[in-house]
Structure 1
Amino acid sequence: MQKSLQNRENMQLLFLGTLALLVGVTVTVPAQEKRVHRQSDLSDHAHDDSHGFQYDHEAFLGKEEAKTFDQLSPEESKERLGKIVDRIDTDKDGFVSHAELHHWIKHRQRRYIEENVDKHWKDYDQNKDGKIAWTEYKNTTYGFYMDEEFDDVEDKMSYKSMLTRDERRFKSADRDGDGIATREEFTAFLHPEEFDYMKDVVIQETIEDIDKNGDKKINLQEYIGDMYTPEDGENEPEWVATEKKHFTEFRDTNKDGFLDANEVAQWILPGEVDHADNEAKHLIHETDKDNDGRLSLSEIMDRIDFIKVSTITDFGTLVNHDEL
């Protein structure tokens, strides 16, 4: 299993996050939930330009647009990109400023979340009252299996645990405690990493996913095991030794050999890092030929390889035509 330290750090802070529940409709319960983190992801790729521009590609276009955009011809790509740039240039001065680009990337982030909520809303709002009760969610997601006490599934205890975990997260998202989620509360349920009041759930679920011996703490073996599982005869990569050092010197602040809840919070919630702002600065730095702090259409077209990479990504569909 080969990973660079940079790839691991990016995944920790950025890419594992977003979707803890991409559950399907009615009788399909996911086999395992993904851990959530604080920041929503701009891309599912590592931000490493030496290995390609997939991160920048998805951050600029939005993950829901990237795959189909990649399938366009060069002429179609330039035409579509020109229309997108015109949308980004809100003051219509012919340039894309840092503020405009930052706003655009944040918009793409937020739209990804909204579209995900839209996708699930109609499945769970069974009585069409514009809200989702816990009973609606539970019956839609687990109802078929619950009738048989999960006897028809291979790992009965895992599904029961998932139900308990879902209920706990739903109650946390349900701020007024009425057992019914508004759209905002349901968004917090699906995307707890986006809401400050859900941070305790994010921390708790992170510990539960990594803690294998059930002591509610993370030891070094569990910490490394979450990142790296050696294959037969494989030499340990250098980054693993670096991560062990990070655990000892930086993560484990009280030097007791474990990460408790407070230390996990410092690890996965290291502060209000605005990744959209950082990406906007990065895109301008890489694309701004005349160093005037803004991007012209010609500068963007000259770096179309940076914005639009080859057909590698596996996410989403193109921007809706009515948006253009």
Structure 2
Amino acid sequence: MRFLRLLVVLAVMVACSRGLSLSDLPHEIDGKHNEHYDHEVFLGKDNAEEFEHLTEEESKRRLGLIVDKIDKDGDERVTEVELTDWIWYVRTSFVANDTNRIWVHLDHEDGKLSWPNYLRKTFGHYDENVESPHSPLYNLRSRVKEERRRWEAADLNKDSLLTKTEFMYFVHPEEGKHTKDVLVLEYTDRLDQNNDGKIDVDEYITDVHVNDKRTQDDQWKDLRRKEFTTRDKNSNGVLDFEEMKEWISPGNYNPSQAEAHHLIHHADSNKDNALSKEEILDSYNIFVGSQALDYGTVLKKHDEF
């Protein structure tokens, strides 16, 4: 179970970093936004049903208390900067808490975790020769090799051991400049059907949910081909590492600011580029399903309210 939970954490964070679907549910049903998609993505399957039974009155009451925290200067206007700061705070808190949750279940010594101990705890065995058909990890060799690559990237001092901080970069490589490249390699591996280390246009088109009906639409596929052409900077018909990196982890992209901008765009009814408490409460469904509330879980912490 610990291994499965760790894989879920890794899969979710990797997916978030490149905007992929995080749920088995479709994002749209017959062209309309599927509210249950957001609940499942942001709350998790176990918590989605519980949140859906939270009354609107109680949701708004708790959300109102959070708005007061976001509005640092108390001027009753939540600016994009204030909302960005809050989302960044929630994001970093989640990363720290998530790292702690996993770290306490691992067998580390003197505050450091070894690769053999990590393998034994998460995979049940330690065996470096995973390519051997006789290895107990042979059927998991792709995952082991992928995580070994993450491990080496996260190991800042190259002592083959991970401190808690280094382990954070292992679990959440999107948080470190020295580990972001691992995400590019992992995503390339997932899309690279012909194993040439690059992504062609057909592989690029497959970058959607398996049940996404748009894949059957020729017009949509034409749009994807145009996107591919834009990303293929050198026009050689494939996306290489640097082009993939610009797509998955653009250097000038601030996810917290992007989310804040998105929320203000949808909730700012008077178009003054800021949000009043009333505007936020009127659009509480949007905020419950956003990073601003740690995907809705902040609303469920009774001890804070």
The TM-score normalised by the length of structure 2 is 0.75
- Correspondence for 1:181: 162
1:264 corresponds to 2:244: yes
1:284 and 2:264 are equivalent in the alignment: yes
Structure with more contact order per residue of length (Cα contacts < 8 Å, sep ≥ 6): 1
Distance 1:63 1:254 in 2: 41
Equivalent residue for 2:82, pick from 100, 104, 120: 100
2:222 to 241, 249, 262: 241
Q: Identify which of 295, 299, 316 aligns with 2:279.
A: 299
Q: 1:86 aligns with which of 63, 68, 75?
A: 68
Cα-to-partner distance string for 1:43-67 (whole Å, 9 max, x where unaligned):
95869x96267899999xx758x84
CA distance in 2, matches of 1:142, 1:307: 37
Preserved contact between residue 154 and residue 167 of structure 2 (Cα < 8 Å) = yes
Gapped runs of 5+ residues in structure 1?
Answer: 1-23, 310-314
CA RMSD of aligned residues (A): 4.0
Q: Given that residues 108 and 114 in structure 2 are in contact (C-alpha distance below 8 angstroms), is that contact kept between their aligned partners in structure 1?
A: no
Structure 2 residue 24 is matched with structure 1 residue 25? no
Residue 209 (1) aligns with residue 186 (2) = no
Corresponding residue to 2:171 among 170, 181, 190: 190
Shift of 1:186: 0.7
Gaps of 5+ in 2: 290-294
Say whether residues 1:36 and 2:18 are aligned partners: no
Aligned pairs for 1:210-229 within 5 A: 210-227=191-208
Higher fraction of helix: 2
SS of residue in 1 equivalent to 2:156: coil
State the TM-score, normalized to the length of structure 1: 0.71
- Cα distance in 2 for partners of 1:38, 1:306 equals 18
Number of aligned residue pairs: 286
Decide which of 144, 148, 155 is 1:163's aligned counterpart: 144
Find the aligned partners of 1:199 and 1:222 in 2 and give their Cα distance: 22
Amino acid at match of 2:199: I
Question: Which residue in the other structure is 1:251 paired with?
Answer: 231
**In structure 2, what is the Cα distance between the partners aligned to 1:131 and 1:253?**
42
Structure 1 residue 101, shift from structure 2 partner: 1.4
Equivalent in 56, 59, 77 of residue 74 of structure 1: 56
Structure 1 residue 28: Cα displacement: 8.4
Equivalent position SS for 1:181: strand
Q: Secondary structure at the match of 1:118?
A: helix
Q: 1:117 to 1:87 in 2, by over 3 A?
A: same
Identity of aligned residues (%): 34
The CA distance in 1 between the partners of 2:205 and 2:271, in whole Å, is: 42
